[in-house]
Structure 1
């Protein structure tokens, strides 16, 4: 989210939007606001990680909330836990959107970011806490066999892809029978080397999972803290 907002802000810096060049500036899309959008996007995913439809609505609720005005409130997908408008509605009080919303033309300018990041095809990748880490891990193995900065023929790519699948799913020792069939035998040090590669891979995977658990706990604490701050002070949203 943060990267997309920064990218679209850079691409629009010479465009006249709502009387000024670009979307940045005081009362517009500041760096702090971009960071806030990143946190809101993450919270929308974490709080609805088991339901894709709710996740999509929660992400769009961010855009609708910040696009709302006194004449056109768009809070049907908001939650009373953070939405000052819904909280005021429950208390029967008046609510002024002006200090908390962004200009509609600014929100329309960043709408493509939400159309991409709130799309079901995008969000279903993180459903149930999933990620793209598995794909990235496989790609790293493939690139170590066939680097992108070096030309490789189609036959070489096919061979490297097959080896990468074997290494990723069954470990480096899975290649030993293939080598034995191709060469007639495999040396002692080849078998030892493949075993050590597998052992190192297992070691670093355990280490990575330990760090992931620790980071998850820290993120939960951060989310709880941000949620409390959002419910107390609607200026953050």
Structure 2
């Protein structure tokens, strides 16, 4: 909290800039603290931006909380909220991912963003008896299988297989209303996340574990090394040593080059679409396994 205010207070003197936008998660106390202390005076108002990743996770968090709070309570169809074919953690993951895609694919317009969010809601509510895909994008390139079938004139062969019961969708509808509010979506138009911040944090903690006490000089050295490696790679250490009139050895240089090469290969692998799908599938598989005990007869 104090760090955010310090950065703002020294930004003009050190960098000749003013930070006018604050990107943080929904429960960030830093923004409130900075605004309360008004570091730039009354003529500069800070704007709060939401981390798209945190907003996406907020849907999952609220759905899981609802599921926990409603455990053992029967809905109007006589069944509970959770259980096989109902609001499982796997389904929550799907809903959360669709919600995030609706935001990221419509960064130019709040209304389009809101429409896309509700398209995912009614998509899951749709059944063969009552399809509700009016908000889903039309055409053979649509993510909606119903719309694809419609464009290919194959609706007679189409079957809804992944719908959620109406009783469940009614329960989660208030959450969708809250998380599709224009005021909230407006703060997501930038499309940015806090992932770079989280990434640099992990590099720092790798050198300076939070569970281990270190002195101030060790702390400064560790942070500087982490920032240097994060921004320019491991080979940047060679430049530092040379400026200190220390000639690095051949094995050191080769080792640092290998570290940078492995880092790039790992990053390239992680961004490949196929690998993304595999990671999502593994995560969903783990959650499915954890929920097997919930599928017992009479459990809901």
TM class, shorter-chain normalised?
A: 0.5 to 0.7
| Residue 65 of structure 2 is aligned to residue 65 of structure 1 | no
Q: CA 1:205 to 1:15, structure 2 compared with 1: closer, same or farther past 3 Å? A: farther
Among candidates 41, 47, 54, match of residue 105 of structure 2: 47
Conserved 8 A contact 2:107-2:189: yes
Distance in 1 of aligned mates of 2:267 and 2:180: 25
Aligned to 1:99: 161
Aligned to 1:5: 63
| Residue 181 of structure 2 is aligned to residue 119 of structure 1 | yes
Displacement of 1:43 after TM fit?
1.1
Conserved 8 A contact 1:44-1:59: yes
Unaligned runs of 5+ in 1: 134-192, 230-237
- Structure 1 SS opposite 2:108: coil
| CA deviation vs aligned residue, 1:124-150 (integer Å, no higher than 9, x gap) | 2211214589xxxxxxxxxxxxxxxxx
Aligned to 2:148: 87
- Structure 1 SS opposite 2:116: helix
Distance in 2 of aligned mates of 1:217 and 1:43: 21
Displacement of 1:10 after TM fit?
1.1
Instruction: Kindly report the root-mean-square deviation, in angstroms, between the aligned alpha carbons of the 2 structures.
Output: 3.8
| CA deviation vs aligned residue, 1:62-85 (integer Å, no higher than 9, x gap) | 101011122322112213422111
Aligned length: 168
Displacement of 1:113 after TM fit?
1.5
Q: CA 1:38 to 1:128, structure 2 compared with 1: closer, same or farther past 3 Å? A: same
Distance in 1 of aligned mates of 2:231 and 2:74: 47
- Structure 2 SS opposite 1:101: coil
Displacement of 1:20 after TM fit?
4.0
Conserved 8 A contact 2:149-2:158: no
> What TM-score comes out, normalization by structure 1 length?
0.56
